[in-house]
């Protein structure tokens, strides 16, 4: 809890939640704090070329593939103090507990704290873990630009003091990792609603992320008859309604769509808008339904643009396939929960997580702890310390079973 409170203090919006986007001064404070915490454990933290922090507890056989555990410390804007932080500080606590108990694991146990998981600045979630496994290359980092100042991810990382050119040498190979474990808050209401203490995650939703631009004609708000208008904002509004309607029509909680960011130009009260850009984030745990709904969504944008005599472009900024996690590790976590007498259920994650990226490399599992009122990505985000302790205990138990 001390570490969680310290990290909560590294925010650009004190009193209004955690705002700690990658490569900001707040992110630097958090990274330095966690590096100091690793060194206090007598370990040597390394920060890679995109800003992932890695720190290894040696095992008996250090040539063998190790177990990784961790999460992310970048946040959304006005986010909560627990998203990513719980799994990150849990990783530190796990290594501290193993050392306190003179437990030498058979293979290395490695903390990994990912950068740019949220994708707030570069419209690409899970960027740190994708760079770690080589799914995002230097070339990708050079063309991926910030939505705040237009600089490339590559340049921003260099200006932050990192060495992205060194990334190809630090790409994680399958032979180096035998399992990934991430503790995370649920960020929804299922556990609290069912009065359960632990979620054992079986699959993680995928997503298609787009930036849509709608082009119309700027004109006088008073003098232009309605029949002569090409109003980009009204067109965008119709599109946004349809994006939402298609998600609701699926009738499943796993099928969602969100328009989270929107900009209007020229954004003046007496000018008919001629340009609107907005994002949409379409998710599902069923890859076929997710692809079909994307096609329906893009067709709807074109149809509305045509009826409204507007132009529209839709640029994909991210793709994350839905992924099933390791059934063997899920069983192991379930056994540990039973042994501790924790109430639990197996469930899916509607939120994306870096573990989905590591799951392509090695057997991976996630453990959820409840979010009060199901709130997340908001200052109201909260998880009780006792619930966090149970989650950390399960990470310890799972790692001890895997490396004992
Ligand atoms: O968007 C997500 O699901 C995660 O919080 N990055
Ligand atoms: Mn998260
Ligand atoms: Mn998040």
Q: What is the CATH number of domain 207-320?
A: 3.30.70.360
State which ligand 1 atom lies nearest to the alpha carbon of 76.
5
Residue 351 Cα to ligand 1 midpoint, Å, equals 5
The partner residues of 219 in beta bridges, in order of sequence, read 272
Which of the four pLDDT bands, split at 50, 70 and 90, describes residue 103? Answer: very high
Return the pLDDT at 64.
97
Q: What are phi and psi of 154, to 5 degrees?
A: -60, -50
The verdict on the CB of residue 351 being under 6 Å from ligand 1 is yes
* Residue 55, SS3 per DSSP: strand
Q: Note whether 122 and 146 are within 8 A (CB).
A: yes
Query: Is the C-beta atom of 124 inside 6 A of ligand 1?
Result: no
74 closest CA partner among 178, 160, 159: 160
248-306 pLDDT tens trace:
999 999 999 999 999 999 999 999 999 999 999 999 999 999 999 999 999 999 999 99
Average pLDDT, the chain: 97
Report the CATH number of the 2-205+322-403 domain: 3.40.630.10
In the block, residue with structure tokens 């599109």:
239
Return the pLDDT at 23. Answer: 97
Q: How far does residue 247's CA lie from ligand 2's centre (Å)?
A: 22
Question: 202 CA distance to ligand 1 centroid (A)?
Answer: 17
List the one residue out of 260, 269, 266, 259 whose CA is nearest residue 232: 266
The bound ligand whose nearest atom lies closest to the alpha carbon of 184 is 2
Distance CA(295)–CA(307), nearest Å, equals 19
Q: Which of 122, 259, 352, 356 to mutate to test the pocket of ligand 1 (most atoms within 8 A of CB)?
A: 352
Predicted TM-score (pTM) of the model is 0.94
334 C-alpha to center of ligand 1: Å?
Answer: 25
- Helix 385-403 vs helix 85-100: angle between axes, to the nearest 10 degrees? 60
* Contact of 263 with 289, CB cutoff 8 Å: no
Distance 404 CA to ligand 3 centre (A): 32
Predicted pLDDT of residue 131: 97
In the structure, what pLDDT confidence band is assigned to residue 140 with cuts at 50, 70 and 90?
very high
pLDDT attached to residue 10: 98
Q: How far is the CA of 153 from the centre of ligand 1 (A)?
A: 19
The helices-and-strands tally (H runs, E runs) of the chain is 12, 16
Residue-level pLDDT at 164: 98
Tens of pLDDT, residue by residue over 295-310, are 999 999 999 999 999 9
Q: How far apart are CA 206 and CA 220, in angstroms?
A: 43
The tokens of 390 are what?
């149970």
Ligand 1 site, residue 126, Cβ cutoff 6 A? no
By residue count, the chain amounts to 404
Mutate to test the pocket of ligand 1, among 116, 184, 353 (most ligand atoms within 8 A of CB): 353
3-state DSSP percent of the chain in helix, strand and coil, to 5: 40, 25, 40
- Residue 70 and residue 356: Cα distance in Å, rounded? 13
| Beta bridge pairs of residue 346 | 200
Nearest to 367 by CA among 404, 396, 401: 396
**Cβ neighbourhood burial of 60 (10 Å; 0-12, 13-18, 19+):** exposed
pLDDT digits (tens, 9 = 90+) for 171-181: 999 999 999 99
Q: What is the mean pLDDT of the segment spanning 315-323?
A: 96
Which of 279, 286, 322, 319 shows the shortest CA–CA distance to 301? 279
What are the residue ranges spanned by the domains of the chain?
2-205+322-403, 207-320
Percent of the chain scoring above 90 in pLDDT: 100
With left for phi above 0 and alpha for psi between -120 and 50, is residue 77 left, alpha or beta? beta
**Closest protein CA for atom 4 of ligand 1:** 352
């Amino acid at each position: 809890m001390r570490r969680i409170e310290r990290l909560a203090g590294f925010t650009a919006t004190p009193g209004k939640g955690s705002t700690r986007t990658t490569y900001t001064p707040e992110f630097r404070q958090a990274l330095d704090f966690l590096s100091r915490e690793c060194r206090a454990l007598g370990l040597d933290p390394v920060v890679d070329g995109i800003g992932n922090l890695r720190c290894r507890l040696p095992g008996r056989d250090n040539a063998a593939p190790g177990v990784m555990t961790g999460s992310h410390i970048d946040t959304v804007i006005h986010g909560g103090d627990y998203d990513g932080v719980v799994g990150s500080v849990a990783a530190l606590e796990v290594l501290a507990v193993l050392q306190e108990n003179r437990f030498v694991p058979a293979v290395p146990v490695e903390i990994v704290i990912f950068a740019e998981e949220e994708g707030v600045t570069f419209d690409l979630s899970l960027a740190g873990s994708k760079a770690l496994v080589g799914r995002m290359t230097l070339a990708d980092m050079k063309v991926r630009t910030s939505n705040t100042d237009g600089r490339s991810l590559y340049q921003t990382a260099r200006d932050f003091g990192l060495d992205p050119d060194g990334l190809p040498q630090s790409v994680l190979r399958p032979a180096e990792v035998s399992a990934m474990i991430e503790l995370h808050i649920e960020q929804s209401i299922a556990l609290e609603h069912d009065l359960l203490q632990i979620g054992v995650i079986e699959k993680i939703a995928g997503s298609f992320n787009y930036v849509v631009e709608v082009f119309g004609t700027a004109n006088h708000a008073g003098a232009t008859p309605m029949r002569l208008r090409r109003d980009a904002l009204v067109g965008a509004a119709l599109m946004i309604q349809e994006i939402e309607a298609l998600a609701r029509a699926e009738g499943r909680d796993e099928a969602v769509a969100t328009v989270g960011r929107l900009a209007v130009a020229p954004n003046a009260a007496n000018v008919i808008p001629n340009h609107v850009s907005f994002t949409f984030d379409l998710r599902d745990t069923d890859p076929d339904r997710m692809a079909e709904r994307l096609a329906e969504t893009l067709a709807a944008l074109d149809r509305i643009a045509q009826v409204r005599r507007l132009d529209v472009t839709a640029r994909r900024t991210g793709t994350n396939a839905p992924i099933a996690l390791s059934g063997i590790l899920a069983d192991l976590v379930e056994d540990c929960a039973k042994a501790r007498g924790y109430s639990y259920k197996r469930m899916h994650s509607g939120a994306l997580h870096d573990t989905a990226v590591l799951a392509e490399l090695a057997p991976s599992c996630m453990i959820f702890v409840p979010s009060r009122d199901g709130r997340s990505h908001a200052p109201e985000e909260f998880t009780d310390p006792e619930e966090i302790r149970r989650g950390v205990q399960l990470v310890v138990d799972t790692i001890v079973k895997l490396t004992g």
